[in-house]
Amino acid sequence: MTSVYAVSDIHGHPEKLQASLHAAGLTDADGNWSGADARLWFLGDFFDRGPDGIGVLRFVRKLIEQAPDDAIRVLLGNHEILALGMHKFGDTFVPHEGITTRSFERSWVLNGGQDRDQELLTDDDVEWLLDRPMLGLDAGHLLMHSDTAEYVEWGDTIDQINAAASADLHSDDIVVWWEVWRRMTSRYAFRGPGGSRVASILLQHLGGHRIVHGHSIIADQLGIDPANLTEPLTYADGLVLGIDGGAFDGGPCLVVELEQL
């Protein structure tokens, strides 16, 4: 049986990613793929907050070339949308009602954007990222970056959502792009008294028995220092697994093996 792993929110820390993948037996001491028939999902946020987001991207793309076809799969996170939006639109004003100025550049700066990532991002990188999906389904797990139900604004099935989101990102409309960014920054849909119901409805519509997400740091939910975190968090009556260890904030880069459901 194929072992399935997930990791998220590396945020410019390739050395943490490399160490965690090696510890999980997915890469060798030189950082080359050694996962045999294992499957690895990246749930987004290669960029921002940490110093070398482009290094994360380069490393992941190298692993994809080394691994068997479809052994490594990448989903888009909100910081991919932000980095791509910054690259495409820069300081262009985003039209909206109200007087507050907003642009991808302003949000990029506020959210830890790194000049080096933008300088080294190639056209090939951009094209490759734009073709990554938003959602995946594997081993009974519904995989996504953000802990939000807003994905369903794009459609009723995983295929519909991925296709509609891709169409948005292949447009040149800054308002459309901004809406993608807004949706992807929402969070906490599965927390609180009604969280398990939201998760259950989402799973019924899109498939799977458990949601796996990044985006929201587990330590914040637990009220602990990220440096003290050692494992992912199952919550919402067991329907949701959070795997963002807070790598940029002193926490671990969690490479999580998913049980077959």
The residue length of the chain stands at 261
CB within 8 Å of 99: residues ≥ 6 apart:
none
The pLDDT tens digits for 113-145 are 999 999 999 999 999 999 999 999 999 999 999
Looking up tokens 């963002």 gives 244
84 pLDDT more than 90: yes
Q: Which of 145, 150, 162 is nearest to 79 (CA)?
A: 145
Per-residue pLDDT for 98 more than 90? no
Beta-carbon contacts of 56 under 8 Å, excluding residues fewer than 6 positions away, are 10, 12, 13, 14, 17, 46, 47
The band of 17, judged by pLDDT with boundaries at 50, 70 and 90, is very high
Q: What is the mean pLDDT of the chain?
A: 97
Select from 259, 239, 261, 256 the least CA-distant residue to 5: 256
pTM of the model: 0.97
What would the mean pLDDT of 202-224 be, rounded to a whole number?
97
Over 70: is that where the pLDDT of 169 sits? yes
pLDDT of residue 1: 80
Q: Which of 5, 53, 51, 45 is nearest to 27 (CA)?
A: 5
